[in-house]
Structure 1
Amino acid sequence: MKGNVLVIGLGLIGGSLALSVKKAHPEAKVTGFDIKHRQAELAKLLGVIDEISETIEEGVVEADLIIISAPVRETARILKELESCSLKESVIITDTGSTKNEIARLAAPLTNKGICFIGGHPMAGSHKSGITAAKERLFENAFYILTPGKAEKAQNIAVLKDWLLGTNARFLELPPDEHDYLAGVISHFPHIIAASIVHQTEKLSGKYELLPRLAAGGFRDITRIASSSPEMWRDILLHNKNVLLDLLTMWQKEMDYVKELLEHTDEEAVATYFFKAKTFRDGLPANKKGAIPAFYDLFVDIPDYPGVISEITGYLANENISITNIRIIESREEIYGVLAISFQTSGDRDRAEKCIRSCTPYPMSYEI
C-alpha cells in the first residue's frame, strides 16, 4: 500500500508497529512523533521511521493511518487533541492500549464526525522497553484484538488489517466491553495478584529477615509481572475498574472457599482443588502468545568455577543471541549450580540451547 502513516509514541510497541508497516508496505511513508524528541531522533537514526513530526497537529494532516501507541491516560489526551486537528476524511485512527471501552467512549466525538476509529490491542510485549527494543517480528503469531464500533464499515477494518499485515499477527474482533473483561481476567487481574503477594511478603520481611533471600528464586519468577510500570498499571486499572472490582469479589469468594477447605482439613477436597487447577493449566497452549508476554527460560547446570557465566554468555554473543535476564538460582561449592537465562522469543531460546549444547557438556532444561 501507498500512503502516509503517523505513529504517535515511539516506544517498544509503536516502534515495532512502524517496522512492521515498513516491511509490508515499503512504498508507504512512516512518520513518527514522541513527546521525548530524543526518542524520535533515535527512531529515525535506526530506520524505524522515515520522518519526524514536530507536533501531532503537523503530523496528522497528510496521514492515512494514525497509530496512537501511548499509555491509556495519554491516549485519552491525544484523542481530545485530534478533535481540533485537520484530518483527512478517509483517515483511520487506531490505538494499542490494554483497555478499550473507555477509549472507545473518548473517541466518540471523532466517530460522530465521521472519522474512523478502530481500537486495537496487540497482545505482545517484551521485558525490554524503548525504541531500541523495537522488533518487526514482535507481534508474529500474537493475538491482535480489534474493537471496531458496531457501525464501523467492514472496508475500513479490512484496510486497517492490510496496513498491519506485516505484524503477522492473528486478528480477532471483539466488542470493547468484552475485550476489557477478557483482558481483565487474564492480564489486569493477575498483575494485581502478583503485586499483592509481593506486598504481603514485604510486610512479613520485617519479622522474618530470611524472606528476601529465600524469595530470590521461584518466588521472584512467579511475581515477575509485579515489576511492570506502576504508572501504566495505575491507568489500566482505573480505566477497567468495574471489571476488576467484579473479579476481586470473585477472588475473595475463591479464597474463602480455600480457607474453608483448610479449616475443615478436607484432604480430598484440597487435592481435588489443585488437581483441577493443574488439569486446566496444563491444557493451555504452551507455545502460543497471550495477553501477558511469555518468559522463555533456559536452565543450565553449571559447575562452580570462575568465568563459567562469561563463558556461556560469550558463546551466545558470538551467535548474536540476545538475552533479557540472567541469574544464578543455586550455586554451592562442589555441586552444579543452576544458571537461569531468559530470552525474548522461543526461537532465541531454541538457538541458545543448540549453541550451548554444541559448545559445552552442561545439562539443560526448560523447566525447573
Structure 2
Amino acid sequence: MRGNVFIIGLGLIGGSVALAIKQHHRDVRIIGYDVNQKNVQLAKMLGIIDEDCDVLEEAASKADLIIISVPVIETERIMRTLSSMDLKQGVIITDVGSTKQGISDTAKCLTNKGICFIGGHPMAGSHKSGPGAAKARLFENAFYLLTPNEETDIEKIEQLKSWLEGTQANFLVVTPEEHDRLTGVISHFPHIIAAGLVQQAKNYNIENSLVSRLAAGGFRDITRIASSSPVMWRDISIQNKTVLLDLMDDWLKEMERVKSVLIQDDAESILGFFKSAKEFRDELPVHAKGAIPAFYDLYIDVPDYPGIISEITGYFAQEGISITNIRILETREEEIYGVLVVSFQTDYDRSKAEKCIKHRTNYGTFIA
C-alpha cells in the first residue's frame, strides 16, 4: 500500500496501529495529531509518525486512510468535523472505539456525503498507556472487529484489511448491533460486576479492615479490570446503556435463582450452577486473545530476604524479558517463603520467564 495515513489520537492504540502500518507498508507516510503536544513530540521522537499537524484539515485533506483513536464521544465530534471538509476521493475513515452503534449512527454524516466509514475495534490493550507503550505487535492474534454498514462496498472492507494487515490481527466483520451485544457480554458488563465486587468489599472494609488485607490475593486478581480508567468506562457504559440494562436484568434473574436454591438448601442445583460455569469456562480458548486484555502471571516461591525482587528482575533483564507488574502476596506473610507474582504482556514472555527461573534458581514456579 502507498499513500498517507492520518492518525488522530496518539495514545497506546493509535500509536500501535501506526507502528503496525509503518512496519508492513514501507512506502506509507504517517501523519499524527493529538491535543496533547507531549504525545505528539514523543510519537515523533519514537518514529511512530513521520510528521505532525496542528490543524485537522491540513492532514485530513491529503489522507488516504484516517484512523480516529480517541474516546468515543470525542470520536463522534471529530466525525462531524471531518464531514464538513474537502476530503480525498476514495478515502476510508475508521475508528478504534469500544462501542459501535452510536458511532454507526453518527457516521451517516459521512456516508450521506459519499465518504466511506468503517467502524473498527481492535480487541487488545496493555497495562500501560500513551505512545511510549505503543508496539507494532500489540494486536497480534487478537480479534479486530470491523462494523461496516449495509451499503459499504466489500472492496472497501478488503482495502481496510490490507491497510491493517501489519497488525496480524484476526478480522471479524459484524454489525454494529452485534458488536455492542458481544462486547457487552464479555467485556463491558464484566467491568461493572468487577467494580461492584470492589465496592462491596470497600463497604465491608469499613467494618473490618481485615477485608482489604485478605483481598490482596485472589480477590485482587479476579477484580483487576476494576482498575481500568473510570472516565473511559463511564463513557462506554453510557454509550452501550441499552445492552447493559438488558444484561443487568438477566444477571439479576440469575442471582435471584441462585438465592432461591440457597434458601432451599438445594444442593443439587447449587452444584449444577458451579459445575455448568466450570465446564463452559474450561472450554474457553486458553491462548487466544479476547475482549479483555489477558494477564499472564507467573507465581514464584521465593525466600524472604532483602534483594530477592531485584535478583529476580535482574535475571529477567539479562535475558531481555519485559514485565508489566510485580507484587508479593501478603497473605503468606507468616511463612519463610512467599509468593512473588510477576505479570507479563504475552504468554511467550511468561513461558520464557518460567524457563529462566528454573534454569537459574531452585525456586518453584506456578501458572494459575
1:110 counterpart residue number = 110
Maintained 8 Å contact 1:60/1:66: yes
1:172 counterpart residue number = 172
| Distance in structure 2 (CA, Å) of the matches to 1:57 and 1:310 | 50
Counterpart of 2:292 in 1: which secondary structure? coil
Q: Percent identity?
A: 61
Counterpart of 2:321 in 1: which secondary structure? coil
Whether 2:46 is the aligned partner of 1:39: answer no
TM-score (norm 2): 0.98
Task: Map 1:234-253; keep pairs closer than 5 Å.
Answer: 234-253=234-253
2:64 counterpart residue number = 64
Maintained 8 Å contact 2:83/2:113: no
Maintained 8 Å contact 2:126/2:293: yes
| Distance in structure 2 (CA, Å) of the matches to 1:353 and 1:14 | 32
1:267 counterpart residue number = 267
Maintained 8 Å contact 1:304/1:332: no
Shift of 1:333: 5.2
2:197 counterpart residue number = 197
Shift of 1:332: 3.5
How many residue pairs were aligned? 367
2:15 counterpart residue number = 15
C-alpha distance after superposition, 1:130-167 (max 9, x if no partner)? 11110100000000000011010011111100000000
Maintained 8 Å contact 1:304/1:333: no
Whether 2:352 is the aligned partner of 1:345: answer no
C-alpha distance after superposition, 1:181-218 (max 9, x if no partner)? 00000000000000111111111111112111111111
C-alpha distance after superposition, 1:2-24 (max 9, x if no partner)? 10000101111000000000011
Runs of 4+ aligned residues of structure 1 deviating over 3 Å after TM superposition are 330-334
What residue identity is the alignment partner of 2:357?
Answer: I
Whether 2:278 is the aligned partner of 1:286: answer no
Which consecutive residues of structure 1, in runs of 5 or more, have no partner in the other structure? none
2:100 counterpart residue number = 100
C-alpha distance after superposition, 1:67-110 (max 9, x if no partner)? 00111111111111112222112100000000011001011010
1:365 counterpart residue number = 366
| Distance in structure 2 (CA, Å) of the matches to 1:106 and 1:252 | 32
1:162 counterpart residue number = 162
What residue identity is the alignment partner of 1:9?
Answer: G
| Distance in structure 2 (CA, Å) of the matches to 1:190 and 1:289 | 16
| Distance in structure 2 (CA, Å) of the matches to 1:296 and 1:86 | 46
| Distance in structure 1 (CA, Å) of the matches to 2:358 and 2:9 | 41
| Distance in structure 2 (CA, Å) of the matches to 1:297 and 1:67 | 33
| Distance in structure 2 (CA, Å) of the matches to 1:137 and 1:302 | 32
What residue identity is the alignment partner of 2:300?
Answer: V
| Distance in structure 1 (CA, Å) of the matches to 2:167 and 2:8 | 18
Which of 202-211 and 1-10 deviates more? 202-211
What residue identity is the alignment partner of 2:179?
Answer: H
Maintained 8 Å contact 1:63/1:91: yes
| Distance in structure 1 (CA, Å) of the matches to 2:86 and 2:193 | 44
Which consecutive residues of structure 2, in runs of 5 or more, have no partner in the other structure? none
Task: Map 1:71-150; keep pairs closer than 5 Å.
Answer: 71-150=71-150
Counterpart of 1:87 in 2: which secondary structure? coil
Task: Map 1:215-254; keep pairs closer than 5 Å.
Answer: 215-254=215-254
What residue identity is the alignment partner of 1:106?
Answer: T
Maintained 8 Å contact 2:302/2:308: yes
| Distance in structure 2 (CA, Å) of the matches to 1:278 and 1:211 | 26
Counterpart of 1:340 in 2: which secondary structure? strand
1:30 counterpart residue number = 30
Counterpart of 2:145 in 1: which secondary structure? strand
Shift of 1:334: 5.3
What residue identity is the alignment partner of 1:181?
Answer: R
Shift of 1:320: 2.1
| Distance in structure 1 (CA, Å) of the matches to 2:255 and 2:325 | 33
What residue identity is the alignment partner of 2:218?
Answer: G
| Distance in structure 2 (CA, Å) of the matches to 1:221 and 1:342 | 11
Maintained 8 Å contact 1:4/1:31: yes
